[in-house]
């Protein structure tokens, strides 16, 4: 069943100060009255109406390879409503303490902490100067004891800007969901929300903390920032318009081999293998940001289109919309957490299986499909063919590591190696019930480990023999990089928004 040309959306006449048309305009939605009696409108996105690409996220290059000379003054154009006042005494103190610590330790992490905090706390009218100062510090940076060479000669500054229409569209789902569950409000009685407002209570906050990543876009850019963990290529600071990104123009090792804080003395096992630090072209960081911004626009074009979240009668369903946004945001958050879990094999693996379950929801493809070496390799090759070479310097190394890890899962079938075979026999109660080649066995093994997040052993009779066979044949060694298979399929999802659109619409099913 194809999507309708427009969604039927019911709005109360008092919304947006009694101006529903103004609400639609601010959200970048095209609307016309459907039925004036029941307050329904026919709604679609402006880009859908005008048949143009979405423009909800903008990437601007302020300095670096893409912008010479630097244009820090342009940052003032993006400043939105003031979200905070001048620095408090406590903020001044914290900034001073961090500066003193950076001077004393000469540690790159302490230095970068100061630079990002300066950007975060800068007053709006000082932001262009502060950003210019931070960029100058990066260009002048030298490792302790070295004075000859710049460490970051290709450092750049970029703004990833979130358009206000994006926030309005996402907020619409929560507002209309509250209306469905508030009979007083639906009936036009505003006394309850007025009293709540006067008391400083929440008004339209249904699940808002599950879908607040678009406010600054840091959640949606997180997987790009951690694309080559445990190496990093950037710093960032959230601002009222989105984020300021400082690209380093190269990857640097971002994890210490020894304990960096007391929590690292807990008995948690991290990666046992060294990871080579990728090299990149001077324009790689800027090109990767451009690619990511374009794909986020396509993603949000699907994710904020009311038509995607209609029932089979064409009526907009707020909870269907809210669930979809929350699911996608959860995917981005968990992939970033997976990237950050370099020191924790167990945490990364659990996050990996959660990511793969979420991808099943968003693509319709089960874990065994995503864990097929043939399918993963095809996906990797397709991405290499479509992603610009410079952007691939940043985006693809971790994806390649994920596919390599999947291939190595097959090496763990030690009995097959000893027997000189490329398949295993599935045995149930002493009887051979079938065979699996090693590629299929690796996929099934990962499926078994995913199910084992609830405990080992199967309560499904048809899988008991398979589960026991896999436990017998495999040595249990799973490469830490297997988590990056989830990152590979995030890139794939970003590259194919039509798949996401179909999975979220579901033929109008709820």
Q: Please count the other Cβ atoms lying within 10 Å of the Cβ belonging to residue 332.
A: 22
The residue ranges of DSSP E strands in 117-240, in sequence order, are 156-162, 231-239
> From start to end of 153-298, where are the E strands?
156-162, 231-239, 242-253
- For residues 466 and 312, what is the distance between their CA atoms, to the nearest angstrom? 41
| Cβ–Cβ < 8 Å for 331, 359 | yes
How far is it, in rounded angstroms, from Cα 238 to Cα 247?
Answer: 15
CB atoms within 10 A of CB 237: 22
Longest dimension (CA), the chain: 77
Taking CA atoms, 238 is separated from 160, 212, 216, 346, 392, in Å, by 10, 13, 6, 30, 25
369 SS3 class = helix
Q: For the chain, how many helices (H) and strands (E)?
A: 22, 9
Residue 418 half-sphere exposure toward CB, CA atoms < 13 A: 7
pLDDT number for residue 120: 93
Terminal C-alpha separation, the chain: 13
204 CA to centre of own chain: 25
pLDDT at 312: 96
Q: Under DSSP, is residue 145 helix (H, G, I), strand (E, B) or coil?
A: coil
Structure tokens, 167:
């926030």
pLDDT tens across the length of the chain (510 residues): 789 999 999 998 888 888 999 999 999 999 999 999 999 999 999 999 999 999 999 999 999 998 889 999 999 888 766 666 678 889 999 999 999 999 999 899 999 999 999 999 998 889 999 999 999 999 999 876 555 688 999 999 999 999 999 999 999 999 999 999 988 888 888 888 888 888 889 888 888 888 889 989 999 999 999 999 999 999 999 998 999 999 999 999 998 888 888 888 899 998 888 899 999 999 999 999 999 999 999 999 999 999 999 999 999 999 999 999 999 999 999 999 999 999 999 999 999 999 999 999 999 999 999 999 999 999 999 999 999 999 999 999 999 999 999 999 999 999 999 999 999 999 998 888 999 999 999 999 999 999 999 999 888 878 899 999 999 999 999 999 999 999 999 999 999 999 999 999 999 998
Does this model's pTM top 0.85? yes
- pLDDT for the residue 144: 67
Burial class (CB in 10 A: 0-12, 13-18, 19+), 114: buried
DSSP-derived secondary structure letter, 165: H
Q: Is 143 exposed, middle or buried (0-12, 13-18, 19+ CB in 10 A)?
A: exposed
Q: What is the pLDDT of residue 432?
A: 87
């Amino acid at each position: 069943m194809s999507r309708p040309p427009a969604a039927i959306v019911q709005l109360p006449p008092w919304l947006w100060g009694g101006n529903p048309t103004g609400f639609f305009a601010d959200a970048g939605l095209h609307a016309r009255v459907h039925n004036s009696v029941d307050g329904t409108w026919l709604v679609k996105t402006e880009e859908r109406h005008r048949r143009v690409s979405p423009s909800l996220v903008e990437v601007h290059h302020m300095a670096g390879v893409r912008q010479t000379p630097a244009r820090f003054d342009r940052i003032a154009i993006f400043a939105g409503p003031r979200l905070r006042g001048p620095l408090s005494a406590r903020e001044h103190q914290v900034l001073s303490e961090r500066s003193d610590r950076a001077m004393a330790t000469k540690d790159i992490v302490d230095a970068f902490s100061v630079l990002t905090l300066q950007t975060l706390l800068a007053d709006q009218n000082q932001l262009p100067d502060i950003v210019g100062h931070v960029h100058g510090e990066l260009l002048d940076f030298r490792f302790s004891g070295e004075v000859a060479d710049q460490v970051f000669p290709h450092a750049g500054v970029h703004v990833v800007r979130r358009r206000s229409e994006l926030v309005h569209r996402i907020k619409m789902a929560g507002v209309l969901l509250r209306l469905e569950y508030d009979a007083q409000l639906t009936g036009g009685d505003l006394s309850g929300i007025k009293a709540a407002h006067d008391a400083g209570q929440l008004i339209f906050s249904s699940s808002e903390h599950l879908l607040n990543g678009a406010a600054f876009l840091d959640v949606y850019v997180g997987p790009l920032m951690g694309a080559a963990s445990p190496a990093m290529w950037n710093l960032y600071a959230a601002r009222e318009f989105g984020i300021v990104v400082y690209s380093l123009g190269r990857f640097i090792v971002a994890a210490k081999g020894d304990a960096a804080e007391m929590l690292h003395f807990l008995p948690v096992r991290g990666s046992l293998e060294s990871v080579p630090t990728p090299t990149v072209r001077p324009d790689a960081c800027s090109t990767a940001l451009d690619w990511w911004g374009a794909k986020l626009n396509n993603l949000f074009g699907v994710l904020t289109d009311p038509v995607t979240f209609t029932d089979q009668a064409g009526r907009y369903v707020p909870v269907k919309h809210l669930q979809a946004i929350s699911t996608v945001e959860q995917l981005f958050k968990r992939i970033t957490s997976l990237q950050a879990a370099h020191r924790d094999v167990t945490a990364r693996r659990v996050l990996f299986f959660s990511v793969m379950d979420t991808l099943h929801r968003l693509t319709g493809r089960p874990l065994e499909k995503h864990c097929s070496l043939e399918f993963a390799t095809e996906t990797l090759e397709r991405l290499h063919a479509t992603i610009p070479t410079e952007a691939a310097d940043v985006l693809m190394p971790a994806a390649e590591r994920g596919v390599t890890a999947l291939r190595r899962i097959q090496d763990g079938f030690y009995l097959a190696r000893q027997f000189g075979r490329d398949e295993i026999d599935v045995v149930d109660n002493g009887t051979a019930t079938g065979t699996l080649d090693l590629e299929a066995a690796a996929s099934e093994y990962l499926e078994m480990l995913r199910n084992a997040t609830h405990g080992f052993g199967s309560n499904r009779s048809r899988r008991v023999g398979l589960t026991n066979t896999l436990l017998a044949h495999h040595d249990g060694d799973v490469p830490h990089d297997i988590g990056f298979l989830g990152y590979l399929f995030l890139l794939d999802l970003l590259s194919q928004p039509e798949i996401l659109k179909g999975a979220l619409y579901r033929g109008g099913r709820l």
